[in-house]
Structure 1
Amino acid sequence: MLRRSAACTTRRNAVFGHGRAPRRCRFVVVAALRDDVLLRSLSTNAEVSVLVVDGTKLVSEAQVRHKLAPTATAALGRSLLGALLMGSFRKEDEQVQITFQGDGEAGSILAIADTRGNVKGKVNNPAADPPLRPDGKLNVGAAVGKGVLAVVRSHPLEPQPYTGMVPIVSGEVAEDLANYLVDSEQTNSALGLGVSLDRDCRVKSAGGWLVQILPFCSEETLAQLEQNLTTMPTITTMLNDGMSVQDITARILDGLGVLPDGQTVMPKYGPCEEEALKKRMIRAVAALGKQEVADIIKQEGKLEVTCDLCQQTYQFSQQEIDNYIDGNEELQEVEHETTVQA
């Protein structure tokens, strides 16, 4: 059935064998041939919505930032791409957070995306790399394990976020997210995700697609769509063959046509801008208070803060923290006086 269809594959070159051989990965940034892009399109009869993303650079950056082992790269990469597909083209400022809380080697996996194409995340065990599956592919299901998938949708104007939770079905990420969309959001959809690595364990291609059935979709359209999805190659195969997101969209909607002028966003990892990140960090540190900050610096010789999601590290001096706290207190006093006078 279309509602549960999910292609979720990560290729592994045969050079690594089928055993638990040591895997040495070089964490270097490799420029992809083309920029990442996410495209949203409609079928000609407006009965099917299709989102296709090429997120090769994005997943490569995540691998480098977190120094991920091959299977951890695939697990976090699929989660980032899944969150991106589920979070894009929603209400402005809406955010989606997906968490795989499994008992596998990877531990919990977190991905957070907004409607503008920003996505970031982390995996508790970046070194997770269980033995390959019997077919020679990365065993993402074993790395994730059994447990619970939680999806939280939030918006600044909503009083409470919406939270949905479902059991982890396979741990292969795409199948679990597709199952969530059906069971918790009653969305008739299909989802495919993939991360392909080269001989040096670097990300060769990474992408995904999300197909959503719109109201009043005909049986003829459903039949054509199911035939297309069950016969087409994996997302990484298509990307490795040089297909663009437009080409892949046309392949998914073969026989149904694609309306022109689809919407695009340029996905990126983050946001990790230095100034914004340092402001968030100093607010968190200042909450400790001047004395505790002084004690930490006295014991450790420095106060260093690392963002779990970006892996950016910054050092703060006692003077920086004191100045922030004093300035914040003065601002609060002014705001209080203004409120009283009003």
Structure 2
Amino acid sequence: MLSGSVQLRSCTARLPARPLLPARVCNTRAKRNVTAQAAKQDVLLRSLSDMGEVAVLVVDGTNLVAEAARRHQTAPTASAALGRALLGSLLMACYRKEEEVTQVTFKGDGPLGNIMTIADTKGNVKGKVDNPAADPPLRDDGKLNVGEAVGLGVLAVVRSHPLEPRPYTGMVPIISGEVAEDLANYLADSEQTNSALALGVLLDREAAVKHAGGFMVQVLPFCSEETLEQLEKNLGALPSVTTMLSQGMSTHDITERILEGLGVSPGAQSLTPAYGPCESEALKQRMIRAVASLGANEVRSIVEEQGKIEVTCDFCNETMVLPEQQVMAAVNQVA
């Protein structure tokens, strides 16, 4: 029987039975400067243990978190919170039913306000925070206080698919605001999935995103007690995700550490995660469809009052002026 909460060093998680080592937050605080550092390509890797008893997803998402921080001009603590939410949503969304979309919303009472992320099965993820300037005082251990920034409240997850008549919605209380622990709690309570989830965002002295990554470990049906014991031993000995990335470890290296003594089955799947989609033309077309859905009278009213149709995407943080003729053509198609 699998139950209980355990803690990984990078953040709190949930997995089978026995407690692991205490959490160690892997964020640092510095002056506000969210310029992204040059980095290798992001990657998300999905692997199985040799006997097919454990599934492991590991992501190095440094570039996508850096892009999110740049787009939203987030303060250090906001960068860490948004980054964790983006990476956690990505791990939860990938390698599921094709075209499924996962939306995660932290409705906390902290100074950050709400965090919302949207991820698909292809590795795309985007997000936003209500207050990107939120940056509460450091914790007693000198680490960024993501838990205070998020606060307590409700975590809502919506999984939707174009072929399903209605989306699946699950809600659980926010138990810590540290993101990983809350997502692991959601998976256990709402989707009956026992998981260990670790997320980390490391900032440099200038508050730029230096490393960002995470992993999700899921115990599959008929997993043996011996495998569980070895897995718990491995997870308890792991340093934080960002420490491993700082040491130059790849997603494959991290997977091997997690599955040490269990073996890694050949045929691992990988993809390149990205922030977005925020490509200009695709964004423009989405904005046109959104405005067109208001109807012809409302569109004309906007043009009369403002002299133009200007729309801002909250996720991409980009503003566009839309051609009236194209919007009206889309209105006619909707009608």
- TM-score, normalised to structure 2, is 0.91
How well do the aligned residues superpose, as a CA RMSD in angstroms? 1.7
8 A Cα contact 2:27 2:80, kept in partner: no
Give the Cα separation in 2 of the matches to 1:234 and 1:29.
21
Give the Cα separation in 1 of the matches to 2:100 and 2:331.
31
8 A Cα contact 2:115 2:128, kept in partner: yes
- Listed as ranges, the matches of 1:20-169 within 5 Å are 23=31, 25-32=32-39, 34-169=40-175
Which among 224, 236, 259 is matched to residue 230 of structure 2?
A: 224
Instruction: Return 5+ residue gaps in structure 1 as ranges.
Output: 17-22, 333-342
Query: Residue 185 in 1 paired to residue 191 in 2?
Result: yes
| 1:178-197 deviations in Å (ceiling 9; x for gaps) | 11111111111110000000
| 1:213-250 deviations in Å (ceiling 9; x for gaps) | 01111111111111111111000000011100000001
Give the Cα separation in 2 of the matches to 1:90 and 1:312.
30
Give the Cα separation in 2 of the matches to 1:325 and 1:160.
26
Q: CA deviation at 1:265?
A: 1.1
Q: CA deviation at 1:296?
A: 2.9
8 A Cα contact 1:2 1:226, kept in partner: no
- Aligned residue type for 2:35: V
8 A Cα contact 1:6 1:178, kept in partner: no
Which among 251, 256, 280 is matched to residue 257 of structure 2?
A: 251
Cα 1:322–1:218 change in 2 (3 A) is closer
Instruction: Report the counterpart of residue 20 of structure 2 in structure 1.
Output: none
Q: CA deviation at 1:62?
A: 0.4
Instruction: Report the counterpart of residue 195 of structure 1 in structure 2.
Output: 201
| 1:286-306 deviations in Å (ceiling 9; x for gaps) | 233444334433433432101
Range that drifts further, 40-49 or 294-303: 294-303
8 A Cα contact 2:36 2:209, kept in partner: no
Q: CA deviation at 1:10?
A: 3.1
Structure ranking higher in helix proportion: 1
8 A Cα contact 1:3 1:182, kept in partner: no
Q: CA deviation at 1:209?
A: 0.3
- Aligned residue type for 2:80: A
Query: Residue 10 in 1 paired to residue 26 in 2?
Result: yes
Give the Cα separation in 1 of the matches to 2:164 and 2:198.
30
8 A Cα contact 2:136 2:149, kept in partner: yes
Which among 211, 214, 222 is matched to residue 220 of structure 2?
A: 214
Cα 1:253–1:3 change in 2 (3 A) is farther
8 A Cα contact 2:34 2:209, kept in partner: no
Cα 1:44–1:315 change in 2 (3 A) is same
Range that drifts further, 276-285 or 171-180: 276-285
Query: Residue 268 in 1 paired to residue 284 in 2?
Result: no
Moved over 6 A (4+): none
Q: Aligned to 1:128, what secondary structure does the other structure show? A: coil
| 1:99-145 deviations in Å (ceiling 9; x for gaps) | 10000011110111111111111111111111110101100000110
8 A Cα contact 2:37 2:210, kept in partner: no
Give the Cα separation in 2 of the matches to 1:154 and 1:66.
26
Query: Residue 286 in 1 paired to residue 286 in 2?
Result: no
Range that drifts further, 174-183 or 311-320: 311-320
| Same amino acid, percent of matched pairs | 64
Instruction: Return 5+ residue gaps in structure 2 as ranges.
Output: 12-24
- Listed as ranges, the matches of 1:300-311 within 5 Å are 300-311=306-317
Cα 1:137–1:163 change in 2 (3 A) is same
Give the Cα separation in 2 of the matches to 1:282 and 1:240.
43
